[in-house]
């Protein structure tokens, strides 16, 4: 037997040892799960299984009911995905600890919220209390495949620190909705006013530039940020930064300085799209 045969045997032995280890872990989880339930609960489960066996004559009706329930659940899932923007692609859990007072499981979850992929890892302690189950999240870790954003990074750090899954899902849904609305708005004005509107960073950027082709050097930058507060509430924050040539500034100092304030006033009164539309109209009137 040459050296390659020995190596092949070693590899096979290691693979078998790894399989045995995994089977032992699975057996231990099953054994612990059985010991977690009381004898009364086990007896109830047995009676339930026996009742299902005795009711096999109604198999066709049961199958029809299950199919209807499945279709109903799929419809509800489709609605929730469209409503919240969340689409989960994978989920796994592993029992870390099991005691008489509760179960600790480690969860791994991945998916997308609209366009934004995310990955979560956390531990969940479930403690039965009469007919209710109390769940406590800990060791939360969040990964988002997004552009570098200090505001988003601070939000993720705060959420991980407080292990607040509810705030994460709620805020991420609102953030992506605002992001998509900003992208749609930028595309709309770029298509409607191609000679006036430019997107230096594309539709995924957070600002647009407005220029009057007839006034050289004069431009307005609209910066559109999405802000997270301490509680995870998302709010759009828009600012106007004018760039005015010296000769224009000397002639019309008062008018140009009033543009940012006027823009904020229109924002409060009529909303984002109307404010940008008004600004483009004013810009187009400059000659």
Residue 277 has a pLDDT of 93
Higher pLDDT, 42 or 164: 164
pTM above 0.85, yes or no: no
Same domain membership, residue 280 and residue 221 = yes
Query: What is residue 102's predicted lDDT score, i.e. its pLDDT?
Result: 82
Q: Calculate mean pLDDT across residues 184-209.
A: 92
| Domain's final residue, options 93, 126, 145 | 145
User: In the prediction, which pLDDT does 35 show?
Assistant: 47
Residue-wise pLDDT for 162-184, tens only, equals 999 888 998 999 999 999 999 99
Q: Are residues 275 and 215 in the same domain?
A: yes
Residue 212 lies in a domain: yes
DSSP string across the chain: --HHHHHHHHHHHHHHHHHHHHHHHHHHHHHHHHHHS-HHHHHHHHHHHHHHHHTGGGHHHHHHHHHHHHHHHHHHHHHHHHHH-EEEEEEEEEEEEE-SS-EEEEEEEEEEETTEEEEEEEEEEEEEETTEEEEEEEEEEEEE-----HHHHHHHHHHHHHT-HHHHHHHHHHHHHHHHHHHHHHHHHHHH-TTTEE-TT-TTSSEEEEE-TTSTT-EEEEEEEEEE-TT--EEEEEEEEEE--HHHHHHSHHHHHHHHHHHHHHHHHH-HHHHHHHHHHHHHH--
Please report whether residue 201 resides in a domain.
yes
154 found inside a domain: no
Mean pLDDT of 61-90: 75
Q: What's residue 91's pLDDT?
A: 87
Residues 192 and 267 in one domain: yes
Q: Is residue 19 part of a domain?
A: no
Number of domains forming the structure of the chain: 2
Q: Mean pLDDT in the chain?
A: 78
Q: For residue 248, what pLDDT band results from cuts at 50, 70 and 90?
A: low
CA dist., res. 106 & res. 96, Å (int):
6
For 124, the domain range is 77-145
Among 58-67, 87-96, 158-167, where is mean pLDDT lowest? 58-67
Domain of residue 120, CATH code: 3.10.450
The pLDDT tens digits for 142-155 are 998 765 577 888 88
């Amino acid at each position: 037997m040459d050296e390659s045969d020995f190596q092949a045997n070693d590899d096979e032995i290691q693979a078998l040892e790894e399989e045995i280890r995994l089977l032992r872990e699975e057996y231990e989880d099953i054994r612990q799960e059985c010991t977690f339930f009381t004898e009364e609960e086990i007896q109830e489960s047995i009676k339930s299984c026996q009742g299902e066996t005795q009711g096999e004559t109604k198999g066709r009706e049961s199958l029809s009911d299950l199919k209807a329930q499945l279709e109903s659940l799929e419809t509800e899932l489709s609605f929730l995905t469209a409503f919240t923007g969340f689409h989960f692609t994978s989920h796994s859990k592993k029992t870390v600890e099991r005691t008489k007072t509760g179960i600790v499981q480690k969860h791994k979850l991945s998916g997308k919220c609209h366009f934004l992929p995310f990955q979560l890892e956390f531990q969940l302690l479930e403690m039965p209390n009469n007919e209710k189950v109390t769940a406590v999240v800990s060791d939360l870790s969040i990964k988002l495949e997004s552009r570098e954003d200090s505001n988003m990074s601070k939000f993720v750090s705060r959420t991980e620190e407080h292990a607040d899954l509810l705030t994460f899902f709620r805020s991420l849904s609102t953030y992506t909705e605002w992001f998509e609305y900003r992208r749609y708005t930028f595309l709309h004005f770029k298509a409607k006013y191609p000679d006036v509107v430019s997107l230096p960073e594309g539709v995924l950027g957070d600002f647009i530039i407005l220029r009057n082709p007839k006034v050289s050097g004069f431009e307005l930058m609209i910066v559109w940020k999405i802000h997270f507060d301490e509680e995870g509430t998302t709010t759009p924050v828009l600012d106007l930064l004018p760039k005015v040539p010296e000769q224009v500034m000397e002639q019309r100092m008062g008018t140009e300085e009033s543009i940012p304030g006027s823009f904020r006033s229109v924002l409060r009164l009529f909303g984002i799209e109307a404010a940008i539309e008004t600004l483009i109209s004013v810009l187009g009137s400059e000659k």
